[in-house]
């Protein structure tokens, strides 16, 4: 099984002619800051893994991903989205070869879409049946990232964020913090809080996130993703952790918007995901990107789960340009603004600023 075979399968269907805005967005060097590793695995890659399991492990009785997740289905909502992982994709990617293969394919897919800098997040996952610990999982993903970054022919640089799931216990969150600290010199740059917004009480994680911050890790949090996770108590708790960035930022009253602006917290906004999953009322032109782009805070257009919602980052830029009438100068300002909120240091910031200042496609 090779990454090339996944790409070949992906390119088998005839692609519609791209619009000028899509071609521009594809060529544009892009920064992706909010993407989940397992949610970024393409259906073709999952299909490859499924095929290889058929040969290797006849006990695994799972439907072909191309049947289980039909190619035109993107209308997953908060009720159907999370079970897709727990009852299907995690069962499919349940050994180290599948995890390594899919991680490599995800990096390749982002690079092919013109992404030059990626902070990918994942929830450390133990697979006891296979003797895989959370530490093994993180090590396997990081090995792929580091080999990728060492290869000078790659134009994308990738770094890892580890996620605490809202359903975690305090002990499990502490384990994530331990892994973040252990691997902070070899590619882990931050910690995230993710998972089903209907689950959990975030207050129990206050000590764990404080420990991560004290250890020098950057912090991003899924924030007000759904009504149910947007109570004053929850948002005040999350803001009290002093996050560096916030994801989604949907059901946020004015007083919290003011805090985000005052503290210049970067926002990671996911247009297609929010529209397809009906997390916002209305459609693209109603998205709160329209409000945030006019503020001082860095706005990172992001994909969230390109494997599920099938909208690569270039398409997110094309959609933003189309629905908010962005000029090339406005897109340039948006892109260069994102550089300020990346979690790595000045080397990467300098590299990205250089890429944007030297890029000859702005006028095209």
Which residues are known catalytic residues?
A: 225
Q: Which of residues 270-299 bind ligand IMP (CB under 6 A)?
A: none
Q: At what angle do helices 232-240 and 254-262 cross, to 10 degrees?
A: 10
Contact status: 305 vs ligand IMP (CB under 6 A): yes
Among 30, 31, 39, 69, binds ligand IMP (CB under 6 A): 39
C-alpha distances (whole Å) from 76 to each of 80, 107, 243, 310, 352 are 6, 24, 28, 11, 34
Smallest distance, ligand IMP to C-beta of residue 39, A:
5
SS3 52: helix
Residue with tokens 């999350």: 238
Q: Which does 42 bind (CB under 5 to 8 A by kind): Zn ion, ligand IMP, none?
A: none
Contact status: 304 vs ligand IMP (CB under 6 A): yes
C-alpha closest to that of 120 among 163, 82, 84: 163
Among 22, 122, 229, 315, binds ligand IMP (CB under 6 A): 122
Contact status: 195 vs ligand IMP (CB under 6 A): yes
Give the total of residues touching ligand IMP (CB under 6 A): 15
Question: What's the chain's length in residues?
Answer: 364
Contact status: 38 vs ligand IMP (CB under 6 A): yes
Contact status: 109 vs ligand IMP (CB under 6 A): no
Smallest distance, Zn ion to C-beta of residue 326, A:
23
Among 194, 221, 252, 331, binds ligand IMP (CB under 6 A): 194
Q: Which does 122 bind (CB under 5 to 8 A by kind): ligand IMP, Zn ion, none?
A: ligand IMP
135, 163 Cβ separation under 8 angstroms = no
Smallest distance, Zn ion to C-beta of residue 245, A:
12
Among 26, 30, 36, 43, binds ligand IMP (CB under 6 A): 36
Smallest distance, ligand IMP to C-beta of residue 246, A:
12
Rounded Cα gap, residues 143 and 131, in angstroms: 18
Contact status: 225 vs ligand IMP (CB under 6 A): yes
Rounded Cα gap, residues 19 and 318, in angstroms: 9
Smallest distance, ligand IMP to C-beta of residue 299, A:
17
Residues that bind Zn ion (CB under 5 A): 304
Among 163, 220, 311, 315, binds ligand IMP (CB under 6 A): 163
What tokens appear for 269 in the block? 């906004």
Closer to ligand IMP by Cβ: residue 301 or 339: 301
In DSSP terms, 30 is beta-bridged to: 115
Smallest distance, Zn ion to C-beta of residue 205, A:
16
What tokens appear for 15 in the block? 């692609």
Closer to ligand IMP by Cβ: residue 194 or 260: 194
C-alpha distances (whole Å) from 356 to each of 96, 152, 272, 333, 353 are 37, 19, 25, 10, 5
Rounded Cα gap, residues 325 and 90, in angstroms: 39
DSSP 298-354: -EEE--B-HHHH---HHHHHHHHHHHTT--HHHHHHHHHHHHTT-SS-HHHHHHHHH
User: For binding to ligand IMP (CB under 6 A), which residues are involved?
Assistant: 36-39, 85, 122-123, 163, 165, 194-195, 222, 225, 304-305
């Amino acid at each position: 099984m090779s990454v090339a075979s996944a790409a070949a399968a992906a390119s088998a269907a005839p692609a519609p002619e791209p619009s000028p805005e899509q071609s521009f967005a594809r060529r544009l060097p892009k920064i992706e800051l909010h993407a989940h590793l397992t949610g970024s695995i393409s259906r073709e890659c999952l299909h490859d893994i499924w095929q290889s399991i058929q040969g290797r492990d006849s006990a695994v009785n799972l439907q072909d991903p191309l049947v289980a997740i039909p190619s035109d289905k993107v209308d997953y909502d908060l009720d159907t989205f999370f079970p897709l992982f727990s009852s299907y994709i995690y069962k499919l990617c349940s050994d180290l070869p599948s995890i390594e293969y899919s991680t490599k394919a995800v990096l390749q897919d982002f690079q092919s879409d013109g992404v030059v800098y990626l902070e990918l997040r994942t929830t450390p996952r133990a697979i006891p049946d296979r003797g895989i610990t959370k530490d093994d999982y993180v090590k396997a993903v990081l090995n792929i990232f580091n080999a990728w970054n060492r290869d000078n022919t790659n134009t994308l640089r990738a770094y890892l964020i580890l996620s605490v799931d809202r359903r975690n216990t305090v002990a499990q969150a502490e384990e994530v913090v331990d892994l973040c600290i252990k691997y902070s010199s070899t590619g882990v740059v931050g910690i995230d809080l993710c998972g089903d917004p209907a689950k959990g009480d975030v207050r129990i994680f206050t000590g764990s996130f404080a420990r991560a911050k004290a250890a020098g890790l950057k912090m991003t949090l899924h924030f007000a993703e759904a009504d149910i996770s947007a109570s004053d108590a929850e948002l005040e708790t999350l803001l009290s952790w002093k996050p560096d960035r916030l994801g989604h930022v949907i059901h946020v009253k004015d007083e919290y918007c003011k805090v985000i602006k005052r503290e210049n917290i970067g926002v990671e906004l996911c247009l297609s995901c929010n529209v397809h999953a009906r997390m916002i009322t209305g459609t693209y032109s109603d998205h709160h990107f329209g409000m945030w782009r006019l503020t001082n805070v860095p706005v990172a257009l992001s994909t969230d789960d390109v494997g599920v919602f099938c909208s690569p980052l270039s398409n997110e830029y094309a959609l933003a340009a189309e629905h908010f009438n962005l000029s090339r100068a406005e897109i340039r300002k948006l892109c260069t603004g994102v550089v300020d909120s990346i979690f790595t240091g000045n080397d990467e910031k300098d590299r990205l600023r250089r890429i944007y200042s030297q890029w000859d496609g702005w006028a095209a």
